[in-house]
Structure 1
């Protein structure tokens, strides 16, 4: 395939697909509790993946490799999705959740220093400060404006923060321990681990009641095929091809795309302070991206 396919089309497709995950959660959560919805999503996703695994004669890793994949699944799927869905379920606007999780490149860059021994330039540390300051501005406006998106508790921020940590560590862990694994079988193992995690949450914390409306069914279908199958396979493929920090750079494009979608679909509005904070946060992440961490000699 031509180089532009890899350099532009695939990353652009991933950014769009990933942004719709926040929208799908917003549509589906009124009809099911977070862990219950995520459990069904994981179980349904395993069906097409199993068909693909058989059709493509996927190779399966040994027990050690499967263990690493299970840990990645608990981080990238369990912790990340659980945090996002609970934050949205508790009233946090989907655009704001996306912005907080969009700080992933900053956290990933720090984790890569410790785990992958990548160096971080001075401008990237500046980007880290800018990213955190930008999100602080958005939160200051949202928490101080009950009529315009402040209908969530400050505790809800912890769910979004947990999600951020999970996806960041999961990206680095996948790059460190999961680059040589078959994409289909590896993803199946990750989803199986995540399903077990969500099952524990659903059976211990929730009623597991579901309203099978048309809206819920459509949202669930998109979350399964658009996100859990398509977007995650693209993400794992991109992680395999590039440095962890470079792959994470795609996530700084997700918040503005999600904010636009949330404005069109749910009329989620940002005031001047929140808009300024979003711009500062995205600019900070851009500094991390363009700083170009370099692997040190081992």
Structure 2
């Protein structure tokens, strides 16, 4: 049998698969290392940009004090305020005052937020609740809580009850207003769809209305947390025997402007910490909500 010649053998051509039909998925994700590096750079840039303006203000403040543009009795230099912080820490006054003030603020906030939440849900879900509570609360919220201090002293005395009652009264309204607005702002189509699926009124409230209104409720709680510190400053002027307000009263009597400013800074730092905690709570409770920024 004759062997086929080389010219008769067809050339070898590798098999190429047919192109897939339909859309092709392309992996556009960044490499993990590059993504981590870019995230760290972005985080560092944001931290530096946030610290830039406070650092400039501190520099101008220190320079004005150094050259005598501001009297030390009016506004001490940042270095003197730092020394006042060190004095408060060394004597142990600051370590004992912060837990006391925080306890007052958190107890009043917890009671006020719970009351505002229940009233907001009641007024938002039921018409009778709106008719009973909305008008009185709308009138009461226009009264500055500082104006209620003399009444709280008459009603509760000058002890801890008056301080907590003042914080309680100040924190009800932010939670109530945002809860009421969040419940009433739920899309009616969602409620109609839930009725089509046969959900009862209780299940509609629990599974549709409250989860949809949760972002607004958390905004009210975050705002109430800041208001609790504002009310704390006023509450601790009522015959305070402990807490940051007690430090400020003693510093005022002794004309220690540096300690007064140090106490004010402590209030501000507590506000920042509470706000950061509330942001974490929002992210944990609302993981599905996107974070949108224009640039």
Greater RCO, 1 or 2 (C-alpha within 8 Å, sep 6+): 1
TM normalised by structure 1 equals: 0.25
TM normalised by structure 2 equals: 0.25
Q: Max radius of gyration: which structure?
A: 2
Higher helix share: 1
